[in-house]
Amino acid sequence: MIQRRIALVLNSGSSSLKFAAFDLAAPDLPAIVTGQVDPADGDAAFAAIDAALAKAGAPSPIAVGHRIVHGGPQLLRHCQIDAEVIAKLEQAEPFAPLHVPAALALLATATARYPGRAQIACFDTVFHAGMPDIARTLPIPRAQRAAGLHRYGFHGLSCESVVHQLGPNLPARLVIAHLGNGASVTAVREGRSIDTSMGLTPSGGVIMGTRTGDIDPGVLIHLMRTGGYGPAEIEQLIDKEAGMLGISGRSGDMRVLHDASPDADADLAVAMFCRSVAKQIAAMMTALGALT
**In what order do the strands lie in the sheet containing 173-178?**
173-178, 184-189, 192-196
Asked if residue 72 lies in contact with residue 89, where contact means CB atoms within 8 angstroms, the answer is yes
- Rounded Cα–Cα distance for residues 42 and 142 (Å): 41
- Residue type for position 144: Q
**What is the Cα–Cα distance from 102 to 93, expressed in whole angstroms?**
10
- Could you tell me if 75 and 123 are in contact, meaning their C-beta atoms sit under 8 angstroms apart? yes
Closest CA to 29 of 12, 53, 4: 4
Chain centroid, CA 40 distance in Å? 19
CB 87 within 8 A of CB 73: no
124 catalytically annotated: yes
Among 250, 156, 164, CA closest to 210: 250
Q: Which residue is catalytic, options 124, 214, 216, 265?
A: 124
Active-site residue numbers? 124
